[in-house]
Amino acid sequence: MTSRILPIGSPSLREIAAPITDVRAPDVLREAEALGEAIRAFRAEHGFGRAIAAPQIGIGKRMIGLALPDWPNVVLNPEVIWKSDAQMTLWDDCMCFPDMLVRVARHASVSIQYMTLDGDICCKTHLGRAESELIQHEIDHLDGVLSFDRATGANPVVHRSVFDADRASFMQQVDYIPEPA
């Protein structure tokens, strides 16, 4: 385990994370803290990052660290329990390939169920677009799925420097434009 983000191509990013059965296990708290450290370090270096799935730092468990208001710092065993029929396209960024953006399609809204570090089962329903796309991205990581697997449209991958040089043009190619992280 490390708080350093694994780069794209790391084999463990393709593995399906195991459910957490004992929230009181000492390693779960250590790993939850490592997720927080990883988000803070990444944000300091790259200026973005709202969440991180445990597999992104080599932890093969179903946990996501979050840096979002009104959310716990870590959610365990998250699962989508409802998806809107409506979809949206957006330029997805990822800590595993911070210099690239991938155009993907995701559900415009989802509802999720998760467990807290206290063992409580919680639900968040009909999430807005920003939280919906983020949660879908992170749950994909728990399932060994990367943004590249969800790429859509012609020329769906762009280097961040090219994107930033013509941001307006690239934003015209998608339905949803997230606020900066």
pLDDT digits (tens, 9 = 90+) for 89-130: 999 999 999 999 999 999 999 999 999 999 999 999 999 999
**Distances in whole angstroms, Cα of residue 160 to Cα of each of 75, 98, 116, 165:** 29, 8, 35, 8
Task: Report the CATH number that the domain containing residue 141 is assigned in CATH.
Answer: 3.90.45.10
Spatial contact of 62 and 78, defined as CB atoms under 8 Å apart: yes
In a domain, 4, yes or no: no
In a domain, 148, yes or no: yes
- Domain with 64 in it: 11-171
Give the count of domains, the chain: 1
pLDDT digits (tens, 9 = 90+) for 46-67: 888 899 999 999 999 999 999 9
Burial class of residue 67 in the structure, from the number of CB atoms within 10 Å of its CB (0-12 exposed, 13-18 middle, 19+ buried): middle
DSSP state of 78: E
Helix, coil or strand: residue 138: helix
Spell out the residues 6+ positions from residue 42 whose beta carbon is closer than 8 angstroms to its own: 5, 49, 52, 95, 98
Helix, coil or strand: residue 58: coil
Spatial contact of 20 and 28, defined as CB atoms under 8 Å apart: yes
In a domain, 31, yes or no: yes
In a domain, 153, yes or no: yes
- Give this prediction's pTM: 0.94
In a domain, 181, yes or no: no
Burial class of residue 128 in the structure, from the number of CB atoms within 10 Å of its CB (0-12 exposed, 13-18 middle, 19+ buried): exposed
Helices within the chain (DSSP H only): 26-46, 129-142, 160-165, 167-171
Active site residue 79: no
In a domain, 76, yes or no: yes
In a domain, 3, yes or no: no
In a domain, 48, yes or no: yes
pLDDT digits (tens, 9 = 90+) for 2-57: 668 999 999 999 999 999 999 999 999 999 999 999 999 998 998 888 999 999 99
